[in-house]
Chains A and B, each alone.
Chain A
Amino acid sequence: MPAAPSRTRTLQRLEHWFQAQVLRPHVGKRAARAPAVRHLLPSRALPAGERLAIYQKGYMLRLQECMQGDFIAVRAVAGEKRFTELVRAYLERHPSRHWSLNPLGHAFARFLEREAQRVPRPALLAELAELEWAMQVVFEAQSSPALAPDALARIAPADWSKTRLAPIEALRLLAFEHRCNAIASAARRKEPLPPLGRKQTFVVVYRKDWTVWRMDLDALQFELLAALCRGRTLAQALAAAARKHRGSPADLAQRIQSACASFVAEGLFRAVR
């Protein structure tokens, strides 16, 4: 506790005590009553410890509810009880330090990856948390007007070696070792979950018309978009995508053209540079 000006020292001590009591995992009534009576009065109906317990229960319920809303798929895969335990452990390690609840889950994916190794499927849970956190980030991201649908067509092939496309702010590109997007969709629709085993998948999360969307990508589309998002030129991005292609040159051209048209139609880029 930092040194308080003498004029608020008693208040500071009381607030630190009260906060410590609220954050303490909810304990039996007898145990809670002992320290509470020093600072809190009983009511006609409740002893001091039970009055304090209203705040203790409220704290965990409120933050659990927030995390449940942000991590629907993690909860669906982990199960209700394990999810509650994971969130409780996460909040002890990463308590809210922000005036908004929006950033509460910012480190949940990293927490699951590094510190939840004793629960089943930690890698899948971490990937799902990464996807669901990306949705939150994209929801909150700065708006930027998207390129006109014909913007790519207006770029002369001779200029491809020096042209770059700037992605919108509200975009996150993700590669997974599980069917994260399909699991997230099923969890949101309350449908049976698809197989939870390993399978390489790619997804772009983006915002269009103020709604957050998720689009599955194949390896070629992912390489193409990843290169563009890294600031590579169109020519470099096309070369990166070509390395993932196993078919004919004609098929490659058609797939790249289709992918680019889809990216622009979905408003993934904001500028041609």
Chain B
Amino acid sequence: MQPKAQRNKFGFPDLGIGVGLRTVHYGHVLEEQPPVDWFEIITENFIGTHGRPVWVLEQVAERYPVVMHGVSLSIGSTDPLDFEYLRQLKELALCIRAPWVSDHLCWTGVAGRNLHDLLPVPYTEECLRHVIRRVKTVQEFLERPIALENPSSYVEFTSSSMPEWEFLARLAEEADCALLLDVNNVYVSSFNHGFDPFEYIDAIPHERVVQYHLAGHTNHGTHIIDSHNGRVIDEVWRVFERSLAHSGGRSTLLEWDEDIPAFEEVHAEALRAREWLERARTPRKKKVHAGRA
């Protein structure tokens, strides 16, 4: 398969292979300045605070591209959007010159509460219209497109009337937003819900994908938890390969959030993506059909 969406629609740069900036690695990153292409931060760890994380981030952002990845936008919630949160997010994005900002297709609470989890939305027409309206509002406020990540989920709603990939594709098109395609999440949800991960990948509008996430997970036999620990398993690499066949490659990031090993080990795991990316970018020879002269 030849890649159809060599460039993303938003003109976001391909930053290469990055890793998540985590507290346990602050010292190493500041002292050793490892040759990482880029970092991704969890937005909420750096807004509303004035402590060491902000001091570290300022220095990291001077040396590396830093993308902001949030967990509290709560785009699917029926509570009002939190514009104070968005104001601070916008301010930080400007301050560190974030190439883009992202969050998840999920909700985190209603009635003013925050459960600090990425809760699943039902894939209904009503919810789709609701999320489209909110994405447009957020993008207008931030004055930039946002990227939404497909979530890992552990339940399916009886009211859902379309598969997740259709919801995501229609959302991206109608709200004109970008996508952060987490291929581990695709695999996790495919295991939990019993769908074909390749069917999911093939249905995504890849010209809207601006970033990939890779991660490890925890398989409990009956279900998989998106725990972000351990190495990326072969099945997830194959989902990644399928995505690259469509896109030709995008900024790619490894998440490792539990039992985090030394920075070099995390980076080495991320760099395993290079092989797949190079393969996807190498033009394949056209098949030559034998014919009669």
The tally of CB-CB contacts under 8 A between chains A and B is 133
Whether B51 and A140, one on each chain, are in contact in the complex, defined by CB atoms closer than 8 angstroms, is yes
Q: Which residues of B contact A15 (CB under 8 A)?
A: 76-78, 107, 110, 119
Q: Which residues of A contact B82 (CB under 8 A)?
A: 99
**Which residues in chain A, 84-132, are within 8 Å of chain B measured between CB atoms?**
95-102
A254 contacts the other chain (CB 8 A): no
**Which residues in chain A, 243-262, are within 8 Å of chain B measured between CB atoms?**
none
Also in contact, A16 and B111, with CB within 8 A (given A11-B78, A99-B72, A207-B51): yes
B155 contacts the other chain (CB 8 A): yes
**Which residues in chain B, 134-162, are within 8 Å of chain A measured between CB atoms?**
154-159
Interface string of A133-148 (1 = CB under 8 A from B): 0000001111100000
Also in contact, A23 and B55, with CB within 8 A (given A10-B126, A11-B124): no
Interface string of A1-12 (1 = CB under 8 A from B): 100100110111
**Which residues in chain B, 89-125, are within 8 Å of chain A measured between CB atoms?**
107-117, 119, 121-122, 124
Whether B114 and A40, one on each chain, are in contact in the complex, defined by CB atoms closer than 8 angstroms, is no
Whether B129 and A43, one on each chain, are in contact in the complex, defined by CB atoms closer than 8 angstroms, is no
5 A-B pairs, CB-CB below 8 angstroms? A11-B78, A97-B114, A99-B108, A100-B49, A140-B49
A residues lining the B interface (CB < 8 Å): 1, 4, 7-8, 10-12, 14-16, 18-19, 22-23, 38-41, 43-46, 48, 50-52, 54-55, 58-59, 62-63, 95-102, 139-143, 169, 207, 210-211
Binds A, one of B217-225, B228-236, B265-273: B217-225
Also in contact, A97 and B72, with CB within 8 A (given A7-B130, A45-B223): no
Q: Which residues of B contact A39 (CB under 8 A)?
A: 157-159
Min C-beta distance of B26 to chain A, whole Å: 10
Q: Which of A12, A51, A62, A141 contacts B117 (CB 8 A)?
A: A62
**Extra inter-chain contacts (5) besides given A18-B119, A97-B113, CB under 8 Å:** A10-B159, A11-B126, A11-B130, A16-B111, A143-B55
CA–CA, A143 to B56, complex, Å?
13
CA–CA, A143 to B54, complex, Å?
10
CB nearest to A138 among chain B residues: B51
Whether B112 and A19, one on each chain, are in contact in the complex, defined by CB atoms closer than 8 angstroms, is no
Whether A14 and B157, one on each chain, are in contact in the complex, defined by CB atoms closer than 8 angstroms, is yes
CB nearest to B112 among chain A residues: A97
Min C-beta distance of A46 to chain B, whole Å: 5
Q: Which of A22, A45, A50, A102 contacts B48 (CB 8 A)?
A: A102
Whether B157 and A40, one on each chain, are in contact in the complex, defined by CB atoms closer than 8 angstroms, is yes
Min C-beta distance of B88 to chain A, whole Å: 9
Whether B221 and A45, one on each chain, are in contact in the complex, defined by CB atoms closer than 8 angstroms, is yes
CB nearest to A212 among chain B residues: B51
Min C-beta distance of B10 to chain A, whole Å: 25
Q: Which residues of B contact A38 (CB under 8 A)?
A: 158
CA–CA, A58 to B225, complex, Å?
10
Q: Which of A8, A44, A63, A95 contacts B130 (CB 8 A)?
A: A8
Q: Which residues of B contact A18 (CB under 8 A)?
A: 119
Whether A40 and B126, one on each chain, are in contact in the complex, defined by CB atoms closer than 8 angstroms, is no
Interface string of B32-68 (1 = CB under 8 A from A): 0000000000001101111110010000000000000
Whether A22 and B126, one on each chain, are in contact in the complex, defined by CB atoms closer than 8 angstroms, is no
Whether B117 and A54, one on each chain, are in contact in the complex, defined by CB atoms closer than 8 angstroms, is no
Q: Which residues of A contact B157 (CB under 8 A)?
A: 14, 39-41
Q: Which of B48, B113, B121, B223 contacts A96 (CB 8 A)?
A: B113
CB nearest to A44 among chain B residues: B194
CA–CA, A62 to B118, complex, Å?
12
CA–CA, A97 to B112, complex, Å?
6
B192 contacts the other chain (CB 8 A): yes
Q: Which residues of B contact A7 (CB under 8 A)?
A: 126, 129-130
Whether B112 and A142, one on each chain, are in contact in the complex, defined by CB atoms closer than 8 angstroms, is no
Whether A12 and B129, one on each chain, are in contact in the complex, defined by CB atoms closer than 8 angstroms, is no
Q: Which residues of B contact A143 (CB under 8 A)?
A: 50, 55
Q: Which residues of A contact B55 (CB under 8 A)?
A: 143, 210
CB nearest to B85 among chain A residues: A99
Also in contact, A95 and B113, with CB within 8 A (given A18-B119, A40-B156, A55-B119): yes
B193 contacts the other chain (CB 8 A): yes
Q: Which residues of A contact B48 (CB under 8 A)?
A: 100, 102, 140
Also in contact, A59 and B49, with CB within 8 A (given A4-B78, A12-B110, A14-B122): no
Whether B114 and A98, one on each chain, are in contact in the complex, defined by CB atoms closer than 8 angstroms, is yes
B127 contacts the other chain (CB 8 A): yes
Q: Which residues of A contact B193 (CB under 8 A)?
A: 43
